[in-house]
């Protein structure tokens, strides 16, 4: 066995772990079918076998000379098992559940599927980017409580999101955000939950990445150890610098949980050089900030901030916040790149306590967000109503339209959350962490789904 000095794999195989001879790299179930994609091993023909979960013997469905196939004519809302074989070689047995879905399924993972259990069981951290060469890239990581949480999958679409195909995997990579800088693709991520902050670059559209560079040391987040917390947020350019948001802490830290930070780098510096980056000291939430938050404990959630330039040309870090239906804004000192964030104010925001992103539309000057909106008299954790929201001043938010409305169904089993979105001409495209069709729960998602909002400015 040889050493390996890259970040990317096709696929990542943990040492001594049985992964099968053929790797099923993408699943996309629908109402009565399951689409499979696998990596080519050079065989002349592949055969797909299937059965209802635990019901009798596997039977052959079809053979193909390609590396993808639809198993159709299946019963709705039913679990199926399947594998791919060629001669004596075969894949691991995989699981999928049929059912009506939303958007376009980029990838799917059944909660009982063991394929990625070395990292996690659920799909998280949607990241979406348009590559300068025209194609779309989508990434997601694998998470579950008390698991390593360190693998990310990358997929590509060459037809504006209509179809998707597997590209590569990054290990270790968690909470990652892909972005384009000077025409090249970067990934900014953590090595694991509360691990090191790392960054890497791909020069071939995500197929391969060189070894990542550590920008900030963390820990592993277990047993109360503090480390880096982040989420896939857009990077913002302001006065010649590129900014992103992160936090320091852990859920186990009962003193302050998470403390807000911002990182920045000169646009002309080398993003892969740690010395290029500056970090603000962690800013703990303090109930004495202002009367509107004085009743809250010091360990109040301030995580997953989104950076935005307000109408007064201030750079704000707007945080997911533990207050009721509001978010917390810190002001970034853009003159002193290592100055601590300053509390600005609370902003009413009619969404639940979940990751959101705010972007300013350069055409209209209006601010937009896609968030898990809350109606009256619903549980605060509800994520079964996803809405496009807007504000003319960043202070007064209203619902433009409801995008995915399952508010009449069990909020404990359905969730649309952690959306990453991009403006594309007259449209908005977004990637969603989606839980439905008997997901483990609303939080532990089994789908990553792609969506397009057409003519959003006319809504």
Find the radius of gyration of the CA atoms of the chain.
22
What band does 61 get if pLDDT is binned at 50, 70 and 90? Answer: very high
Residue 312 lies in a domain: yes
Determine contact, residues 420/411, Cβ cutoff 8 Å: no
Residue 341 lies in a domain: yes
pLDDT at residue 143 is higher than 70: yes
Sign of torsion, CA 54 58 64 66? positive
Query: Given this model, what pLDDT does residue 328 score?
Result: 94
pLDDT at residue 2 is higher than 90: no
> What is the rounded CA–CA span in Å between residue 247 and residue 92?
38
Rounded to the nearest 5°, which phi and psi values hold at 326? Answer: -150, 165
Contacts by residues 52-59 (CB-CB < 8 Å, ≥ 24 positions apart):
52/78, 52/79, 52/80, 52/81, 53/78, 53/79, 53/80, 53/81, 53/95, 54/81, 58/82, 58/83
Query: Given this model, what pLDDT does residue 108 score?
Result: 98
SS3 content of the chain, % helix, strand, coil (to 5): 5, 45, 50
Q: What is the mean pLDDT of residues 369-393?
A: 93
Q: Which residue has the higher pLDDT, 40 or 287?
A: 40
Length of the chain: 459
pLDDT digits (tens, 9 = 90+) for 408-422: 999 999 999 999 999
Please name every residue paired with 341 in a beta bridge, in sequence order, or none if there are none. Answer: none
pLDDT at residue 378 is higher than 90: no
85-123 core/surface letters (b: 16 or more CB in 10 A; e: else):
bbeeebbbbbbbbbeebbbbbbbbbbbebebbebbbbbb
- Three-class SS state of 63: strand
**Distance from CA of residue 156 to its chain's centroid?**
15
Residue 446 lies in a domain: no
Residue 279 lies in a domain: yes
> What is the rounded CA–CA span in Å between residue 404 and residue 407?
9
Residue 305 lies in a domain: yes
Q: What is the mean pLDDT of residues 281-307?
A: 90
State pTM to two decimals.
0.97
Host domain of residue 314: 235-353
Rounded to the nearest 5°, which phi and psi values hold at 54? Answer: 70, 15
Give 339's contacts (C-beta < 8 A, 6+ positions apart): 280, 333
Residue 45 lies in a domain: no
Residue 310 lies in a domain: yes
Give 159's contacts (C-beta < 8 A, 6+ positions apart): none
Q: Tokens 């590509």 appear where?
A: 156
Q: What is the mean pLDDT of residues 329-334?
A: 97
pLDDT at residue 309 is higher than 80: yes
Determine contact, residues 246/229, Cβ cutoff 8 Å: yes
Query: Given this model, what pLDDT does residue 421 score?
Result: 98
> What is the rounded CA–CA span in Å between residue 237 and residue 309?
9
Ramachandran assignment for 53, one of left (phi > 0), alpha (psi -120 to 50 degrees), beta (any other): beta
What band does 22 get if pLDDT is binned at 50, 70 and 90? Answer: very high
What band does 251 get if pLDDT is binned at 50, 70 and 90? Answer: confident
pLDDT at residue 186 is higher than 80: yes
pLDDT at residue 254 is higher than 90: no
Determine contact, residues 158/167, Cβ cutoff 8 Å: no
Determine contact, residues 394/347, Cβ cutoff 8 Å: yes
Q: Tokens for 307?
A: 């950076």
Domain count of the fold of the chain: 1
Query: Given this model, what pLDDT does residue 221 score?
Result: 65
pLDDT at residue 57 is higher than 70: yes
Query: Given this model, what pLDDT does residue 293 score?
Result: 87
> What is the rounded CA–CA span in Å between residue 365 and residue 359?
10
pLDDT at residue 113 is higher than 70: yes
pLDDT digits (tens, 9 = 90+) for 194-247: 999 999 999 999 999 999 999 999 987 667 789 999 999 999 999 999 999 999
DSSP 349-411: --B-SS---EEE-TTT--EEEEEEB--TTS-TT-B-EEEEEEESSSSSEEEEEEEEE-TTS-T
Give 379's contacts (C-beta < 8 A, 6+ positions apart): 411
Q: What is the DSSP letter of 456?
A: G
- Three-class SS state of 255: coil
Q: Tokens for 419?
A: 């959306």
Query: Given this model, what pLDDT does residue 66 score?
Result: 98
Query: Given this model, what pLDDT does residue 427 score?
Result: 98
Residue 283 lies in a domain: yes
Mean pLDDT of the chain: 95
Q: What is the mean pLDDT of residues 23-42?
A: 98
């Amino acid at each position: 066995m040889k050493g390996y000095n890259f970040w990317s794999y096709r696929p990542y195989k943990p040492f001594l772990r049985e992964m099968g001879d053929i790797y099923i790299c993408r699943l996309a179930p629908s109402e009565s079918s399951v689409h499979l994609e696998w990596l080519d091993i050079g065989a002349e023909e592949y055969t797909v076998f299937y059965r209802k979960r635990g019901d009798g013997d596997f039977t052959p469905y079809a053979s193909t000379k390609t590396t993808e196939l639809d198993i159709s004519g299946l019963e709705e809302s039913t679990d199926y098992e399947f594998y791919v074989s060629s001669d004596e070689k075969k894949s691991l047995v995989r699981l999928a559940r049929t059912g009506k879905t939303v958007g376009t399924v980029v990838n799917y993972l059944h909660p009982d599927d063991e394929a990625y259990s070395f990292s996690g069981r659920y799909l998280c951290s949607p990241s979406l980017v348009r590559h300068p060469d025209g194609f779309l890239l989508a990434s997601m990581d694998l998470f579950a409580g008390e698991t390593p949480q360190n693998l990310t999958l990358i997929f590509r679409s060459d037809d504006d999101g209509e179809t998707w195909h597997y590209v590569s995997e990054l290990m270790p990579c968690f909470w990652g955000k892909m972005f384009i800088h000077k025409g090249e693709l970067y990934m900014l991520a953590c090595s694991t939950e509360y691990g090191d902050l790392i960054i890497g670059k791909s020069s071939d559209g995500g197929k391969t990445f060189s070894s990542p560079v550590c920008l900030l040391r963390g820990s592993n987040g277990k047993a109360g150890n503090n480390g880096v917390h982040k989420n896939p947020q857009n990077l913002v350019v302001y006065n010649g610098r590129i900014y992103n948001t992160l936090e320091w802490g852990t859920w186990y830290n009962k003193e302050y949980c998470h403390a807000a930070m911002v990182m920045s780098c000169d646009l002309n510096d080398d993003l892969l050089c740690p010395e290029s980056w500056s970090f603000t000291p962690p800013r703990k939430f303090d109930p004495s900030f202002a009367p509107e938050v004085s009743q809250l404990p010091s360990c109040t959630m301030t995580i997953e901030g989104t950076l935005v330039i307000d109408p007064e040309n201030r750079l704000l870090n707007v945080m997911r916040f533990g207050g009721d239906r509001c978010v917390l804004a810190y002001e970034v000192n853009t003159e002193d790149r290592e100055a601590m964030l300053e509390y600005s104010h609370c902003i009413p925001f009619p969404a639940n306590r979940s990751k959101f992103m705010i972007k300013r539309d350069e055409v209209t000057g209006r601010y937009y967000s896609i968030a898990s909106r809350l109606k009256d008299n619903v549980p605060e954790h509800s994520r079964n109503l996803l809405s496009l929201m807007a504000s003319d001043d960043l202070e007064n938010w209203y619902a433009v339209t409801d995008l995915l409305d399952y508010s009449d169904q069990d909020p404990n089993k359905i969730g649309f959350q952690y959306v990453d979105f991009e403006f594309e001409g007259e449209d908005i495209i977004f990637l969603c962490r989606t839980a439905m069709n008997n997901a483990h729960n609303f939080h532990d998602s089994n789908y990553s789904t792609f969506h397009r909002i057409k003519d959003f400015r006319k809504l």
